[in-house]
Chains A and B, each alone.
Chain A
Amino acid sequence: MRRARLGTFIALGVVVALALAFFVSPYASSQPDGLNKVAIDQGLDQQEQPHALEDLPTAGYGVRGIRNERLSTGLAGLIGVGVTFALGLGLFALVRGARRTGHDPAP
């Protein structure tokens, strides 16, 4: 069986993630998730505090200023996937670098 080259495989994966975030996430369920539902039902949220960063232009998976709600959610998804990929790639590249230095025998 022919195998996709690593770079091609990673690029394809990122395209899939971007597509899910942009095209599918605007249609995701907006009902509370399991933990939030239990919190509402059982009153665990009575002392909930607003998030310290709730004024960010991207708070709540939207982009402030974009009127179209679906577009706003989709763009937030693109930003999130891009930032997460960049952070992950950078972090794991650093980790790989640390190994290379770590294995160098002391002079």
Chain B
Amino acid sequence: MHIPDGFLNAGASIGGAVVAVGGLSVSIRRTTQILEEKQAPLAGLVAAFIFAVQMLNFPVAAGTSGHLLGGVLAAVLVGPWAGAVCVAVVLIVQSLLFADGGLTALGVNIVNMALIAVFCGYGIFLLLRRVVPRTHTGVTISAGVAAMLSVVLAAVGFTIEYAIGGTGGAPVGTVAAAMAGVHLLIGIGEGVITAMTVGAVLAARPDLVYGTRDLIAPVELRESTVTPTRSAP
């Protein structure tokens, strides 16, 4: 899903860079306001883990592979704001250190994988959580399904950018169908990896998971054991 240099024209690339800088600035500011102390090291781990798993391309169809994007995984674990920053860090390291994902395309790649996949995916996660049981299993399934759809949405993001400033000659409709189809398959892998990872963290340290803060039992409010004395009428 990493767009190389030259797939998009200068206009689309610059537009993407502007949106990426704006989105990341807001994300960093919001992270500054809400990141809990114990979540700061977790966010570093999430970025490192996503880097590692992005290297693990799995076969999806004849001559095609896919790999984790990690947007929903990051959003569920550390929240969408810090999650977007995590994925952006991964994309920057990949482009600047491993020449993966074009330099001029860094902005659009951040838009697709660090903004669209993270925020749209997290929105779907929140919607799904309203209809599934309020349990760890419900959270795990919601994360998996949202992750799957987030990959398709990132592919739609690329298709829109291609429609705006693609240098290739193929019709937008053909590209849209091909992108959606293959990324639905890749999304299945994304969903499985995301669900497994969220499930593992929920089993070990449920208190660290941002997406389930509402499940942590609040300070118990007990009925007073002392019955208030009422004056007889």
Contact B93 A87 (CB under 8 A): yes
B25 contacts A by Cβ under 8 Å: no
Determine the chain A residues whose CB is within 8 A of the CB of B11 once the complex forms. none
Determine the chain A residues whose CB is within 8 A of the CB of B90 once the complex forms. 84
Contact among A38, A76, A96 for B98, CB-based, below 8 A: A76
B6 contacts A by Cβ under 8 Å: yes
Determine the chain A residues whose CB is within 8 A of the CB of B40 once the complex forms. 89, 92-93, 95-96
Q: Which residues of A10-39 have CB atoms within 8 Å of chain B's CB atoms?
A: 10, 13-14, 16-18, 20-21, 24-25, 28-35, 37-39
Which residue on chain A has the smallest CB distance to residue B67?
A: A33
A42 vs B181: C-alpha distance when bound (angstroms): 14
Determine the chain B residues whose CB is within 8 A of the CB of A18 once the complex forms. 52
B1 contacts A by Cβ under 8 Å: yes
Q: Assuming the A-B contacts A38-B175, A53-B99, are A20 and B43 also in contact, with contact meaning beta carbons closer than 8 angstroms in the complex?
A: no
A29 vs B55: C-alpha distance when bound (angstroms): 9
* CB 8 Å contact bits of A53-89 with B (1 = contact, 0 = none): 1101011110000000000010011011111111111
Contact among A48, A59, A60 for B7, CB-based, below 8 A: A48
Determine the chain B residues whose CB is within 8 A of the CB of A60 once the complex forms. 98-100
A89 vs B208: C-alpha distance when bound (angstroms): 16
Determine the chain B residues whose CB is within 8 A of the CB of A85 once the complex forms. 44-45, 47-48
B85 contacts A by Cβ under 8 Å: yes
B28 contacts A by Cβ under 8 Å: yes
Sampled A-B contacts (5; CB under 8 Å): A7-B41, A20-B56, A34-B185, A34-B186, A85-B47
Q: Please list the residues of chain A having a beta carbon within 8 angstroms of any beta carbon in chain B.
A: 3-4, 6-7, 9-10, 13-14, 16-18, 20-21, 24-25, 28-35, 37-39, 41-54, 56, 58-61, 73, 76-77, 79-93, 95-96, 98-99, 102
